[in-house]
Structure 1
Amino acid sequence: MAPNPEGSKDALLPDFPSGPLQPYRARASFSWKELALFLEGEDVLRLKKAIFSALENDPLFARHRGGDLSLEQYRELNFRRCKRLFEYDFFISKDLLENPSKMLVLVTSLGMYDWSLATKIFLDTFVFGSVIYSSGSERHLKYIPRIISMEIFGCFALTEVSHGSNTKAIRTTAHYDPTTEEFILHSPDFEAAKFWVGNMGKTATHAVVFAQLYTPGGQCHGLHPFLVQIRDPKTLLPMPGVTVGDVGKKLGQNGLDHGFAVFHKVRVPREDLLDRAGDVTPEGTYITHVKDDRQRLGASLGSLSTGRVCIVGISVSNLKLALCIALRFSATRRQFGPSDGEEIPVLEYQLQQWRLLPYLATAYALDHFSKSLFLDLVRMQQGLLGKDSSARQAELGREIHALASGGKSLASWTTQRGIQECREACGGHGYLAVNRLGDLRDDNDPNCTYEGENNIMLQQTSNYLLSLLGCGGPGGTRFKSPLKSVNFLEGYPAILGRRFEAASLQDCLDSAVPLAAYEWLVCYLLRESHEKLNQEKRSGSSDFEARNNSQVYHCRSLALAFLELVVARRFHEYTHQPSVPAPLRAVLQRLSALYSLWSLSQHMALLYRGGYCSGERAGKLVESAILELCAQLKDDAVALVDVIAPPDFILDSPIGRANGELYKNLWAAVLQKSDVLTRAPWWPEFCAHKPVVGSLKSNL
């Protein structure tokens, strides 16, 4: 019998149960299954299905929220779950380190279940393991099987109590002793203690520790990574000279143990220096193939770009979950109506559409940006592993650093605002903890800080853009980059002469219109930031002071606008490519236009101030186009959510379940707790305490 592709698709993507969401699903302009296959591909969908099914069918993963357990209980359960995952076929393999895309799918899928669990595994396998794999050499490969077998458990120790984003100022030292062929790792004081290190609090046995490397004679060669044993794997007791502990309860992700470590003259074998960027001979001579100090630091910290790119994907996953909950709720929650007759779903209200659908478009646009940038990063790392020292490779590293830094800021901030909007759009039910929006908000919050505080990260992006002006000047010919993200700047003077030209609402429904506006906006902010810097320097400010005084209203805005342009352009090109199936083109292009216009609308004041827009027409056209696209996407909203939604067990929100039985699901969730209908254990105190009414009256 010939294979049945439709049957295969239905097995991979089964139909949703009928119910209150069915009318919206029936009105969708496209097949959600076809869109899911186009966006993800069959291999990724099968991997996700395997992960989700394993979690749902394993009793160890029965739902227990962190708030229902003590801190130690949650930590213990999280570690047992982590250990169990290493037993599954989709998890055990060196392929995870050699196939980063597979690891990213694994982490984001687990994160949809519980970010404490996903982050714990991510830090051990993907960060700790991958840093050893990519920053070390043959002599370090012996650790990889021990990581996969969980014989050792790892963490990544860069941040200190007194320094985080300013990596150059890290104060932990590693002095080489040629008589024993060891490095002496030392924390000069408590401010140099490694801090905020995930997995270090209770479970890590080994750490990649960044320290300033000194050779005999006192010469410092800058920050380098060392593989350091911090606990005995057989007892979990600290190694001699290591003081290690837990930082305590956090605002979220409390199943993950963040810790600190202080090193008192801890001896580390010479071979445990991760030596890809630089090494020390047994006699104490420093050797490196990377002669430039800044490039060597960049190579040592290359894993930070990996972390930042992954945070984009992690943030997008959180936004997807929040939107699944809020939009399914909005399609089934009925309130008011045009008369005293039947109430209508709140999704039918323009205000609800305007609040949520731009974030849905954003989730799709950022998701594509995250995946495409991750592939760019993998290609760059392959070049590093191959010791590619070409000028193009160096430029690719600079460009990815700028995109990862700014992209992490844009994605985490946008998600944080989006989750809050989803929470409020669900009214009082969104405030109920069982519906999960509060947990999503708390668990996403650290993404705004981890791997670099967002405002600091934006400076990395704006510095990159400003350096381009230094290469060729406005209108110069040096505006070319490996990923083509800045190539449009070759038209710098001509772009600044452009003006808003859309003549009708229909014109604005094409994402090419906001893309042209974004190009002007980035050129304008680049010119303004460049002039502001020069003005500060002419007034006598140092380079540091000039940059410090040029962030607000200038460089910060420049970096955000540039990243929004990159995200919008990549999604526009993706949705307009010939390979997009005809039935999917309209909905994808509407999402592209809505993301671009909605993001651009937040810069309207700058567009008018700089002269790109004038009069009322431009502003009104943009607003009308946003509302028109929301109206066009309204009937597709539930199907678009179905494409990105995990199974109900993973989503874990009564008001967001796929069957749409809003009130039945909510009522069942409220009643399932054992103490809901019981009398308070402190009831005797209530009944025994009687205010002295007579005494009160006499005083009055």
Structure 2
Amino acid sequence: MAPASKGNGHNQSSQDDLLPDLPKGPLCMYRAKSSFNWKELLLFLEGEDMLIFKKRIFSAFENDPLFAHHPGEELPIQKYRELNFLRCKRLFEYDFLNMQEMVKNPLKISMLINCLGMYDWSLSAKYFLNTYVFASTIQNSGSQRHMHFIQKTLNMEIFGCFALTEVSHGSNTKAIRTTAQYDPTTQEFIINSPDFEASKFWIGNMGKNATHAVVYAQLYTQGGQCHGLHSFVVQIRDPKTLLPMPGVMVGDIGRKLGQNGLDNGFTMFHNVRIPRENLLNRTGDVTPEGVYSTSFKDVRQRFGASLGTLSTGRVSIIGMSVVNLKLALSIAIRFSATRHQFGPNDDEEIPVLEYQMQQWRLIPYLAATYVLDHFSKTLFMDLVELQLGLLQNDKSIRQAELGREIHILASAGKPLASWTAQQGAQECREACGGHGYLAMNRLGDIRNDNDPNCTYEGDNNVLLQQTSNYLLNCITDRHQDKVRIESPLESVNFLEDFKDILGQKFVISRVEDCMDSSVSLAAYKWLVCYLLRESYQKLNQERKSGSDDFEARNNCQAYYCHSLALVFIEHTVLQRYHKYTHHASMPTSLQPVLKRLGALYGLWSLSRHMAVLYQGGYFSGEQAGKMIKNAILDLCAKLKDDAVALVDVIAPPDFILNSPIGKANGELYKNLWATVLQGSKVLERPSWWREFSTYKPTIGSLKSKL
């Protein structure tokens, strides 16, 4: 995919108007060493229109008292949720993104969500779940008869949520137990929760203020015939009073480890009647008489179309995880560039970023941020293509295959991005030492707010099985039917050369030759093919030993299919970035640094699979492993002087970043002190001081202590 905007057509004055110079301070030393112009890179990556859009959002927040920060103050959970709702309500007044802009540039949807998340993920989630997940599900899964729900959502007449997960079922969506029984005498569906285990649970916005929900339930028609999982619009509260509707029990599930401004809730339905028209009927409908119909003759095609719709949340989480990496690294690298400790002599301390260990800990995550950010944006645009096909009622085989492919890329991409962000946030926290543990510096909140990304929209380990199953089916079809292995997005096309790839070996003899991502890309192709062969053989062995298909697949997960899915998505992510950085439209002034980031990410990720590379024979001798490690260290050293400028490209304004040690001026200790002293009652004695001053130990207690 070619870059969306070149950024080269802008003169220096227009660049400076759009992107003012950063404040002078201790970080200037590193900025002066950078091999590229950070403004040129930012303009190239995002384009002028997107930068103006971001600036509009960030400026609105900084100038609105409702969004003011309160250092050192921890709000009670109910107050936090009230404030979060008021801020969400204010977003409707700002109306940052109208429908016309969404159609013109769909990436602005993702950008808006991520900008809100940079400020507070609770706010982003609340707004996103209502305005996009609830509304877009209705748009993509429904028809013209449902458009009034979308209009009411945009006018904030109703507030929505997405109710798929139940107490006893999350990842296994086919086993959802909520029922929707059609009653032809009244032309209504009767929504029921069979028992408390089938209650909808973890539903964002449902806890306190959602009035309507997209509810997933098993659709039944007369005679007890089940037509599988379908979605329905169900009113759960009265918009005028926020009291539950008849037959609905709804409430809040309580405090979580993070994102406590978002009210996650539960609900149970007892004979709740909704109009027949509230069935979202894109993939299946019921006539007034109770006859079920679907335009999909092939069940696989219908399921593939619905999978694409369900991928929206997972694709969004990839972007959210990348944002968390951007925030954590902006703080940690700016800190590392201004924090001086030790040195060649007692009179000279050097920035901790100069230490190889600090570079090795942080700079690979910086590379991962850039590579995963490109993957996130391109996958989002693939999803937009799928959704346009749904709106145009495309029933082609390609459309169904596109839905399946996006599903498997999102099912593996979410684990990769969320785990990388989780590990990266923790590494950044530790890399900032004790100051990283201070809540005011935000690294703890970033880590905690990212944590649910590893679980929401499907547990990461379970999701990886979706991807490995797809790959096993590809190779099974190839063996049985001799069909070509290809997909709409070309992510599996290289498997057509399965046998030839397995015959390759690592032949690089110099560290210098590892400085391009093509080296790790070739190794990844071999890795995917090798693990696919091993997984396929293991699966067949299990079946031959008498295991049924479920048990056989279950016994192939650890060491086989789990690793297969991860290396496949790492290959896909790297392949997209490699193609991007080697594209003819890439400016020559930016190409070297971006290529180094790709090479570092590839080798760093590849190094985790060293044992398999040796085990399968792709690597031989000790030199191969040493070369990869030395190349990683060399690339970290080469990128060290660019690290601050690379962070300047991805960091939001200081108000949004909201971290004293991560401010753009680099005045580490001044910013830290200023924030400490702004805290509430910092210099006051405690309210319980009399408990100390009036304490008089008895003689007996003194003797016992002695």
Measured against the shorter chain, the TM-score band is: over 0.9
1:222 corresponds to: 228
2:639 to 623, 627, 633: 633
2:574 to 568, 572, 587: 568
Distance 1:4 1:362, change over 3 A: closer
Distance 1:665 1:509, change over 3 A: same
1:478 equivalenced with 2:484 (yes/no)? yes
Which letter does structure 1 place at the counterpart of 2:608?
Answer: Q
1:337 to 312, 333, 343: 343
| Match runs of 1:600-639 below 5 Å | 600-639=606-645
1:673 corresponds to: 679
Distance in 1 between residues matched to 2:73 and 2:565, nearest whole Å: 38
1:613-664: per-residue Cα shift (whole Å, max 9, x none)?
Answer: 1111101110110000001000000000000000000000000000000000
Choose 141-150 or 446-455, whichever is displaced more. Answer: 141-150
1:559-582: per-residue Cα shift (whole Å, max 9, x none)?
Answer: 000000111111111111111111
Any stretches of 5+ residues in structure 1 without a counterpart? none
Distance 1:498 1:698, change over 3 A: closer
1:40 corresponds to: 46
2:57 to 41, 51, 55: 51
Which letter does structure 1 place at the counterpart of 2:346?
Answer: D
SS in 1 for 2:323: helix
| Match runs of 1:111-260 below 5 Å | 111-260=117-266
Choose 122-131 or 142-151, whichever is displaced more. Answer: 142-151
Distance in 2 between residues matched to 1:387 and 1:147, nearest whole Å: 24
Distance in 2 between residues matched to 1:300 and 1:178, nearest whole Å: 26
2:689 corresponds to: 683
1:598 to 599, 604, 607: 604
Query: TM-score, normalised on structure 1?
Result: 0.98
SS in 2 for 1:528: helix
- Per the TM alignment, residue 89 of structure 1 is displaced from its structure 2 partner at its CA by 4.0
- Per the TM alignment, residue 22 of structure 1 is displaced from its structure 2 partner at its CA by 0.2
Which letter does structure 2 place at the counterpart of 1:451?
Answer: E
2:5 corresponds to: none
Distance in 2 between residues matched to 1:238 and 1:97, nearest whole Å: 36
1:88 equivalenced with 2:94 (yes/no)? yes
Choose 64-73 or 626-635, whichever is displaced more. Answer: 64-73
The answer on whether the counterparts of 2:305 and 2:403 sit within 8 Å (CA) in structure 1 is no
1:312 corresponds to: 318
The answer on whether the counterparts of 2:301 and 2:397 sit within 8 Å (CA) in structure 1 is no
| Match runs of 1:550-589 below 5 Å | 550-589=556-595
1:582-639: per-residue Cα shift (whole Å, max 9, x none)?
Answer: 1101000000100000000010011011111111110111011000000100000000
What is the root-mean-square deviation of aligned Cα atoms in Å?
1.6
Which letter does structure 1 place at the counterpart of 2:667?
Answer: E
1:302-346: per-residue Cα shift (whole Å, max 9, x none)?
Answer: 332011111000000000000000000000000000111220000
- Per the TM alignment, residue 143 of structure 1 is displaced from its structure 2 partner at its CA by 1.6
- Per the TM alignment, residue 97 of structure 1 is displaced from its structure 2 partner at its CA by 7.5
1:451 equivalenced with 2:457 (yes/no)? yes
Distance 1:4 1:583, change over 3 A: closer
- Per the TM alignment, residue 690 of structure 1 is displaced from its structure 2 partner at its CA by 3.5
Aligned length: 698
Which letter does structure 1 place at the counterpart of 2:209?
Answer: T
- Per the TM alignment, residue 458 of structure 1 is displaced from its structure 2 partner at its CA by 0.2
1:645 corresponds to: 651
Which letter does structure 1 place at the counterpart of 2:403?
Answer: G
Identity of aligned residues (%): 70
Distance in 1 between residues matched to 2:668 and 2:413, nearest whole Å: 35
- Per the TM alignment, residue 88 of structure 1 is displaced from its structure 2 partner at its CA by 1.2
The answer on whether the counterparts of 1:66 and 1:74 sit within 8 Å (CA) in structure 2 is no
SS in 2 for 1:607: helix
Distance 1:695 1:316, change over 3 A: closer
2:371 to 347, 365, 369: 365
1:29 equivalenced with 2:27 (yes/no)? no
Distance in 1 between residues matched to 2:481 and 2:285, nearest whole Å: 43
2:107 to 91, 101, 104: 101
1:418 corresponds to: 424
Distance in 2 between residues matched to 1:428 and 1:303, nearest whole Å: 44
2:447 corresponds to: 441
1:351 to 357, 361, 375: 357
Distance 1:594 1:689, change over 3 A: same
- Per the TM alignment, residue 349 of structure 1 is displaced from its structure 2 partner at its CA by 0.3
1:133-192: per-residue Cα shift (whole Å, max 9, x none)?
Answer: 111101111122211110000000000011111111111101111111100001111111
- Per the TM alignment, residue 91 of structure 1 is displaced from its structure 2 partner at its CA by 3.5
Distance 1:100 1:124, change over 3 A: farther
Distance in 2 between residues matched to 1:236 and 1:330, nearest whole Å: 49
Distance 1:138 1:628, change over 3 A: same
Distance in 2 between residues matched to 1:231 and 1:202, nearest whole Å: 10
Choose 140-149 or 455-464, whichever is displaced more. Answer: 140-149
Distance in 2 between residues matched to 1:457 and 1:67, nearest whole Å: 38
Distance in 2 between residues matched to 1:653 and 1:292, nearest whole Å: 53
Query: TM-score, normalised on structure 2?
Result: 0.97
Distance in 1 between residues matched to 2:623 and 2:705, nearest whole Å: 69
Which letter does structure 2 place at the counterpart of 1:172?
Answer: T
Distance 1:283 1:681, change over 3 A: same
- Per the TM alignment, residue 516 of structure 1 is displaced from its structure 2 partner at its CA by 0.6
The answer on whether the counterparts of 2:322 and 2:373 sit within 8 Å (CA) in structure 1 is yes
SS in 2 for 1:582: coil
Distance 1:260 1:140, change over 3 A: same
2:467 corresponds to: 461
The answer on whether the counterparts of 1:245 and 1:259 sit within 8 Å (CA) in structure 2 is yes
Which letter does structure 2 place at the counterpart of 1:148?
Answer: L
1:203-238: per-residue Cα shift (whole Å, max 9, x none)?
Answer: 100000011111111111011100011000000000
2:4 corresponds to: none
The answer on whether the counterparts of 1:197 and 1:260 sit within 8 Å (CA) in structure 2 is yes
Distance in 1 between residues matched to 2:114 and 2:155, nearest whole Å: 22
Distance in 2 between residues matched to 1:11 and 1:658, nearest whole Å: 18
1:518 corresponds to: 524
1:63 equivalenced with 2:69 (yes/no)? yes
2:299 to 293, 296, 305: 293
The answer on whether the counterparts of 2:283 and 2:296 sit within 8 Å (CA) in structure 1 is yes
Distance in 1 between residues matched to 2:247 and 2:100, nearest whole Å: 33
1:543 to 541, 549, 552: 549
Distance in 1 between residues matched to 2:694 and 2:640, nearest whole Å: 57
Distance 1:555 1:628, change over 3 A: same
Which letter does structure 2 place at the counterpart of 1:126?
Answer: Y
The answer on whether the counterparts of 2:72 and 2:680 sit within 8 Å (CA) in structure 1 is no
1:243-272: per-residue Cα shift (whole Å, max 9, x none)?
Answer: 000000000000000000100000000011
Distance in 1 between residues matched to 2:635 and 2:481, nearest whole Å: 36
Any stretches of 5+ residues in structure 2 without a counterpart? 1-8
SS in 1 for 2:181: strand
1:27-62: per-residue Cα shift (whole Å, max 9, x none)?
Answer: 100000000011111111111111101111111110
Distance 1:89 1:174, change over 3 A: closer
1:380 corresponds to: 386
| Match runs of 1:523-534 below 5 Å | 523-534=529-540
Distance 1:63 1:284, change over 3 A: same
Which letter does structure 2 place at the counterpart of 1:415?
Answer: A
SS in 2 for 1:152: coil
1:662 equivalenced with 2:690 (yes/no)? no
1:489 equivalenced with 2:502 (yes/no)? no
